[in-house]
Structure 1
Amino acid sequence: MKKNIKLEAPDGGWGYLVCIGMSMPFTCILGNFPSFGLIFGDFLKSIGAETSAIAFITSAFFCSLSFAGLFANNLFKRFSIRTVGIVGGVLYFMGSVMQIYVKSTVQLTVAYSLFQGIAAGLIIPSCYTIFNSYFVKKRVFVMSLTQTLIGIGTMLYPVIVQKLIDWYGFRGCLLVLAAINSHAILGMILLQPVEWHMKKVEVNDEEIEEDRTEPLMSAEERRQEPQDTLNVQPNESLATRMGSIVSLGNWNGPIALSGASVEFQPFPNKPTLWQAIVDFLDLSLLKDPIYLNIVLGMSFCLYSDMAFFTLQPLYLFELKYTKTETANIIAIGAAADMISRVVIAVSAIFVPVSSRFIYVAGAFFTFIARFAFLEVFDFTRMAIITAILGFLRTWFHVTMSLVVAEHLPMKRFASGYGLFMFLQGNIMFLIGPIVGYVRDRTQDYALTFHCLNFFMALCVFPWIMEMIYVKCRKQNKSADHDLN
């Protein structure tokens, strides 16, 4: 019987070096958020800038990231994904070098928010696109190992930062961190195109015919069934093949694409500038109320989480914690985050649960735990509550892309997630300075954390109300069908 050659994803080999490569910039990016106040807190205070400056700088970072992530998919069509990733690594390193010489909040905003924000927006989709091309059958398992490696680096990052400040001072610490962040370039160099490492598998004509005639799976089956093969035509570009599975800005979890029965009616075709914007950003998705509830809720939740862990070191300094104690508490939270990633990866294999349910559960318990956070003051209890918050935050970071993938059809996942990142970045940019202004005017961290918890509630309660409404509606339809 005639044999044919089919190319499949390697599911290993050089892919393991890709995992190491993507862990380098992710550790630097994710480790820097909870350590930002630790690094720049005294500097900003010395130049008269307080919480509002930190809120504006971090919000501007996410704004830059969202715009860069939104355009990343178009860059992949013009340049190789590896090239885009290397450019992101270079920009991130340049931002680190510029921070050594900052003397004002404007300079820090340019170095951190603009350069490193754009860099992160290019690095993140590059890493996840390449990862998904290398791994299909082992995707969840290998991603869990990669996330564990990133978690270890994130856990050690604040401890290293504190040691560097003690040994070399503020500027010396930034110099060493710039050297560490230069590894982002090395990590991107490791992202070799998957075409260089594809496996050749012999198949016969009957197997090819079965692949062509195999019926499509239902949405529920696709949600639970991983892709088994990645067929590649020799002249087909990676950017074209991966267009539907690019994760624009998903930081912590594997991409699991799923189908859905949702269909959308596009806006009328008109040769106008507005129509071009609608088509480019796929704004017709906003006509779906459930999608709108999803992206707004995740945007508020993500802002609340990032702002909370950015302000936590400053709050601990206010409570007279030493820098060493503060760094240890942050490291404990990062360790709990790492453990939670492993737990989710393992439990997902044995207990299939909706990603959105996991997300809203993590957000709800975080909402409750933050009230306890404001009632503890000694080191032991503060470390425990920070560990709980660190464990819970993984529940909504890992499942971000999966929530969108469960709701949208595969062909609209990339544009739907890109639109989410665009909205999320701009929401952060708008409300971040407001929260910082409230803190500086009131000089009350407790009120600031309550404001952040309010934004967390904007995710939790609309989602719960929607889930209850949808469930009741389904039950009523089922009852009407039985009566008929």
Structure 2
Amino acid sequence: MATEKNALVASPKTQKVIKLIPPDGGWGWMVLLGTAMSNIFNQSMLSLFSLLYGDALEAMGHRTQGAAIVMSTMLFVTNFGGPIAGAVVKLTSTRFVAVTGACFCTAGIFFSGFSTNIFHLVLTYGILLGLGLGFIQNSSFVAINSYFKLKKSRAVGLANVGTGVGQTLMPHLVRYLLEHFGFRGACLLLSSLSLHGIAGTMLIQPVEWHMKKIEEEVPVDENLHLLQEKAKDLSLRNLSQSNGDAQNQANGKENIGKRTLSNKELNGGKVNKSDANGLNGATHVAPSPQKQNMLTKLYDLFGISLLSNVRFLNIVIGTALAVTSIQNFSMLFPFFLQNAASMDKQQTANCMSAVAAADIAGRLILPIFQDKYKIKARWMLIMTSVWLIVVRQILAYQTNIEVLLVMSCLYGMGRSMIIVARNIAISEFCRMDQVPAAVGLGMLTMGVIVPPVGYFLGWIRDFSGSYITCITAQNILLVILLVTWVPDMLYLLMKERRQKKLDAEQPQT
């Protein structure tokens, strides 16, 4: 009986509160549909440049070097447009930024059809399309991140499936359009298809419209409750004093002194000399907050404070290295198959199709696995990096078509997880309001790291004359990720377990 009485006394008081949580579905699936639609017709343009603009560039008197200028401009603008998109999301909404990005993409594809020199292509494909893709990448992830919590990885994977589908189907469509309508007709028809991306991004509605209400019991802090009641009484007393008669107004200084003392009592503080002077008749005026200057506003808008955190820098640099590694391997893979593995064009196409098919399957399957076992995105990237290191190192020594097809599938599965989890890893570190700026800074980091590191990897291939050496160098980038991430993740894991242990022991003390 005594034990039951003690248990009743020890049990904390609780109160029911209404809490708003992301829907983890509902209209979120429509947001995914819209994002996937935009990816099919816009993000797939990244892989269509040589096919669509190759002959036009040659007619302008430019070949590989001209293509490199346009593509480098587009990638630079896409990555450096990320922070701009993050800032605009804070000022407006994810829907506005996504629709604006889709409009930029449509305009870039449309006007590129009228290009007569390389400067026109740099302006249309490089700048307009690049800025549009940067806006779409940032805003679409922020929208998905706000709609999904438990199923976030699965949702991002489904949205990215649109990119894989576009990269698989669009080359055949572009070839057909070029054969029947010519370069300008193909660009105009592709820009009309890009309008579907605008319709898709219009499906991104504010998550506040679709939040779920749940009832949750939370413990009540009695001391905090008393302080809140005292503060409420104090506010009512002050209000009545401000609405009092002329006599109360004449004694305003004394009331101010009393209010100052009450606030000090409420906060558990002591009366200092300045407070005493206030009680003796001197009016206590709180210093007015200084207005933020332009630099401070920009500092907050772009989330520059995140760069002062070593863990955040470790995350964005690691994800940039992972993306650089897979992008460089994707560019090198066809040349490796033809020159090192002695594959013909049909066999090369089969291997690349195997990579694309496995990539799509991975974006559908691996996120379900991650959500089911609640694995953090950084751990998924760590496991994927180990997977890719082993698969690519084995693949580098193969010349048999059957083995290469199997290894291509295994590589495609691993590559899909890098694409899906990179932004999720960044968002896991941040508060919800910091996600747009954090994703933008992640894109900016890729814009800084990808070009020089990619150039260095190309130099290694030309200097050594060996594809095996170049693939090994690409794997070293993933080794750097493992060396910098694994100790930090183990530290966080042990810290979390210690905290759980302390929480479990707390009721017993």
Give the total of aligned pairs: 411
For 2:148 and 2:447, locate their aligned partners in 1 and report how far apart those are by CA, in whole Å: 29
Letter in 2 for 1:177: L
Percent identity, please.
25
Secondary structure of 1:387 counterpart: helix
The equivalent residue for 2:326 is 305
Query: What TM-score do the two structures reach when normalised by structure 1?
Result: 0.68
Secondary structure of 1:182 counterpart: helix
Letter in 2 for 1:20: L
Q: Is the 8 A contact 1:62 1:428 kept in 2?
A: no
The equivalent residue for 1:454 is 473
The equivalent residue for 1:198 is 210
Pair 1:111-2:124 in alignment: yes
Q: How far is the alpha carbon of 1:188 from its aligned partner?
A: 1.7
- After superposition, the CA RMSD in angstroms is 4.4
For 1:185 and 1:283, locate their aligned partners in 2 and report how far apart those are by CA, in whole Å: 31
Pair 1:332-2:345 in alignment: no
Secondary structure of 2:204 counterpart: coil
Q: How far is the alpha carbon of 1:25 from its aligned partner?
A: 1.6
For 2:121 and 2:182, locate their aligned partners in 1 and report how far apart those are by CA, in whole Å: 18
1:102-135 CA-to-partner distances (Å, cap 9, x unmatched) read 4554433322221111101212233233334444
Residue of structure 1 aligned with 2:365, choices 334, 340, 343 = 343
For 2:172 and 2:315, locate their aligned partners in 1 and report how far apart those are by CA, in whole Å: 35
1:336-391 CA-to-partner distances (Å, cap 9, x unmatched) read 01111222122124434342232133233323433454445676555443322221
Pair 1:66-2:87 in alignment: no
1:205-264 CA-to-partner distances (Å, cap 9, x unmatched) read xx47x35859xxxxxxxxxxxxxxxxxxxxxxxxxxxxxxxxxxxxxxxxxxxxxxxxxx
Larger-Rg structure = 2
Q: Is the 8 A contact 2:98 2:201 kept in 1?
A: yes
The equivalent residue for 1:222 is none
The equivalent residue for 1:182 is 195
Query: What TM-score do the two structures reach when normalised by structure 2?
Result: 0.65
Letter in 2 for 1:401: N
The within-5 A match list for 1:74-89 is 74-89=87-102
Secondary structure of 2:63 counterpart: coil
The equivalent residue for 1:240 is none
The within-5 A match list for 1:154-165 is 154-165=167-178
Q: Is the 8 A contact 2:460 2:469 kept in 1?
A: no
For 2:204 and 2:328, locate their aligned partners in 1 and report how far apart those are by CA, in whole Å: 31
Pair 1:22-2:35 in alignment: yes
For 1:42 and 1:316, locate their aligned partners in 2 and report how far apart those are by CA, in whole Å: 25
Secondary structure of 1:101 counterpart: coil
Pair 1:295-2:309 in alignment: no
Instruction: Give 5+ residue unaligned stretches, structure 2.
Output: 1-15, 222-289, 498-509
Letter in 2 for 1:82: R
For 1:432 and 1:55, locate their aligned partners in 2 and report how far apart those are by CA, in whole Å: 13
Instruction: Give 5+ residue unaligned stretches, structure 1.
Output: 215-268, 479-484
1:287-342 CA-to-partner distances (Å, cap 9, x unmatched) read 444432322222122123224324545666777844x7655543332210111122
Secondary structure of 2:125 counterpart: helix
The equivalent residue for 2:46 is 33
Letter in 2 for 1:300: L
Pair 1:370-2:392 in alignment: yes
The equivalent residue for 2:272 is none
For 1:346 and 1:111, locate their aligned partners in 2 and report how far apart those are by CA, in whole Å: 38
Residue of structure 1 aligned with 2:412, choices 374, 378, 390 = 390
Secondary structure of 1:400 counterpart: helix
Q: Is the 8 A contact 2:144 2:155 kept in 1?
A: no
Q: How far is the alpha carbon of 1:22 from its aligned partner?
A: 0.9
For 1:299 and 1:171, locate their aligned partners in 2 and report how far apart those are by CA, in whole Å: 36
Pair 1:425-2:444 in alignment: no
Q: How far is the alpha carbon of 1:402 from its aligned partner?
A: 2.8
Secondary structure of 1:398 counterpart: helix
For 1:281 and 1:159, locate their aligned partners in 2 and report how far apart those are by CA, in whole Å: 40
Q: Is the 8 A contact 1:158 1:331 kept in 2?
A: no
Q: How far is the alpha carbon of 1:421 from its aligned partner?
A: 1.7
